[in-house]
Amino acid sequence: MARPANTQSLVSTSLSNSKTNVEIVSQAPVMEERSSYGFFQTTTSQTLAPTTVEEVIAILKMAHRDGRKVTLCGSNMSLDTQSLGTDISMTLAAFDYIDVDRERKTVTAGVGAKWGDVVDTVRAHNLFPQVVISTRKVSVGGSISANSLSRWACVRGREGTHVESFLMVVADGRVLRCSREQHADLFYSVIGGFGTLGVVLEVTHRLQTISLDTCVESVATKEPRLGNLSEDLLPTDPEEARYMILSLSKKGLRKMSFRSRQGEHKKVKPIWLYKHVDWTRLVAETLAHIWMWLAHAVWTFSYFFHPRENKTYVSELVPYTFFTDGNVAARGMMKRMKMKFRMIEQTYIIPVASGKAEAFIERLVEMCKARGVKPMLFDVMYLPEDEPFLLSSTRGLAGFAVNIAFEGLEGQKLEETKEMFRILTTLCKEWGGRVHLVKNVFADPADLHEMYGESLATWQELKQVYDPQNTLGSGYLERIFDLNKKEDTLQA
């Protein structure tokens, strides 16, 4: 789809003068089943796929008139129900245009464009995103709704920091250009707002300059203990990304700390995690999902043999950026084969100022051992204080993001792990932290209200202003915060 020539003129469009005879509204229902990325939640909904702004407006008008619920869905890669609807699912895949402004170092992309295509397009102009989500399969709309992060977030912040503006349709049909200067209330609530306040059509991101030879140098250090997170992860160089992978052994924790920076190289020798996805990587990723012991064996092998400690590895920029593509491809193949290996993943932000990050991780490890569960993924990185995006887990808070994922859990083990997540959420709250809303959320709603109280209240006020009939959203925020019950309690 080419970028509409009349984008700017649409700002004054309103629901009252939009087209009402758009065929898409009256088309025969197409019912589709969608699952979360971890396969824990599945819903069925009517799919509508508008190709013009007028069609988007007409769908909103129909939903408003008939009291229906519209959920925005992109690549179906949400870890929870953030993009899973039960009534109407609107996909904006047709809005896939990509425009590069080389002089201003920006890219404007329709929300249906995939990040892999955006990166390929801007790289041809010696440009690259500052922060981009870790798989090329996610859409621009999906990542802005989550205010995504990357390996570089520790020094560059999250995605929203590099968004210049976006164009959106609010529930009453108005088309608005939002930025830090225009409609700032929407700008700071829609980024990371999970598609609850309007339909974003296109986003303009600021870019960095690179060369075609730009690669990423990475060096790993290893220790059989946790140590001091501040020494390992707090940035001392604005050009150096730091992150940590942890694994559990019978003796305790094993730590691999990484430092990466961009450089120009002709010769590439990557760490296995940052190689191109080929059939060998796909087979390995698939088998690791089928046999969890193999996944743990891979991390053990990595700790002892590859990458070598203090050796510099050079990875190509694109595979380094999209390092989860192997996992995405494997899970996609398994889904086509009707093999659904369920995964739950939760992330906690522990404030640096609390000095409690190490204690939190130690408590987490103790609880895993007590329950006899072993995480498939366990990593930590530093996130700086975010701009005032309402539902950002790092809004006004610099902290260590502790991420833990389990796969293959069923029955009692699964329920015990969910309860562990809830207990850890309470501990995170007591130490001034927040649960990251982009992953799964197993938590006491009262804890979440304490974590997000003021910003959640502001989001609810904006919801009443811009979508009073609650036409947009999946009900995800209402569920995890138990908003209906909370409102009843307040009224009582």
Assign 176 a pLDDT band (cuts: 50, 70, 90). very high
- Cβ–Cβ < 8 Å for 318, 124: no
Say what the pLDDT of residue 140 is.
97
Whether 439 and 457 map to the same domain: the answer is no
- Cβ–Cβ < 8 Å for 49, 72: no
- Cβ–Cβ < 8 Å for 88, 63: yes
Whether 426 and 282 map to the same domain: the answer is yes
Residue 233 lies in a domain: yes
Say what the pLDDT of residue 148 is.
96
Q: In angstroms, rounded to a whole number, what is the distance separating the alpha carbons of residues 134 and 122?
A: 17
Say what the pLDDT of residue 487 is.
41
- What is the per-residue pLDDT across 38-77, written as a single tens digit (0 to 9) for each? 888 889 999 999 999 999 999 999 999 999 999 999 888 8
Assign 492 a pLDDT band (cuts: 50, 70, 90). very low
Angle between helices 325-336 and 279-290 (to 10 degrees): 70
Nearest to 73 by CA among 139, 23, 133: 139
Element spanning 453, H or E: helix 445-466
Per-residue pLDDT averaged across 88-111, rounded? 97
Percent of the chain with pLDDT over 90: 75
The reported pTM is: 0.92
CA 330 to chain centroid, in Å, comes to: 19
- Read off the CATH number of the domain in which 179 is found: 3.30.465.10
Whether 454 and 404 map to the same domain: the answer is no
Check residue 28 and report its DSSP letter: P
Residue 114 above 90 pLDDT?
yes
Q: In angstroms, rounded to a whole number, what is the distance separating the alpha carbons of residues 441 and 459?
A: 18
Any bridge partners for residue 163, and if so which? 205
Whether 404 and 472 map to the same domain: the answer is no
Whether 187 and 224 map to the same domain: the answer is no
Residue 129 above 90 pLDDT?
yes
Q: Which has the minimum average pLDDT: 77-91, 290-304, 464-478?
A: 290-304
Q: In angstroms, rounded to a whole number, what is the distance separating the alpha carbons of residues 428 and 8?
A: 45
Percent of the chain with pLDDT over 70: 92
Which range of residues forms the domain containing residue 77? 7-210+450-492
Sequence-distant (≥ 6) Cβ neighbours of residue 229 within 8 angstroms: 244, 357, 358, 380, 382, 400
Whether 201 and 74 map to the same domain: the answer is yes
Residue 99 lies in a domain: yes
Assign 478 a pLDDT band (cuts: 50, 70, 90). very high
Nearest to 55 by CA among 135, 156, 175: 175
- Residue by residue, DSSP assigns 238-276 as TTEEEEEEEEEETTEEEEEEEEEEEEE-SS-B--GGGS-
Q: In angstroms, rounded to a whole number, what is the distance separating the alpha carbons of residues 467 and 198?
A: 8
Per-residue pLDDT averaged across 252-256, rounded? 92
Residue 381 above 70 pLDDT?
yes
- What is the per-residue pLDDT across 431-463, written as a single tens digit (0 to 9) for each? 999 999 999 999 999 999 999 999 999 999 999
Total residues belonging to the chain? 492
| Mean residue pLDDT across the chain | 90
- Read off the CATH number of the domain in which 299 is found: 3.30.70.2520
Whether 101 and 56 map to the same domain: the answer is yes
Say what the pLDDT of residue 26 is.
53
Q: In angstroms, rounded to a whole number, what is the distance separating the alpha carbons of residues 147 and 391?
A: 9
Residue type, 281: R
| Pairing outcome for strands 42-48 and 88-91 | parallel
Whether 406 and 321 map to the same domain: the answer is yes
**Number of domains observed in the structure of the chain:** 2
Per-residue pLDDT averaged across 398-413, rounded? 93
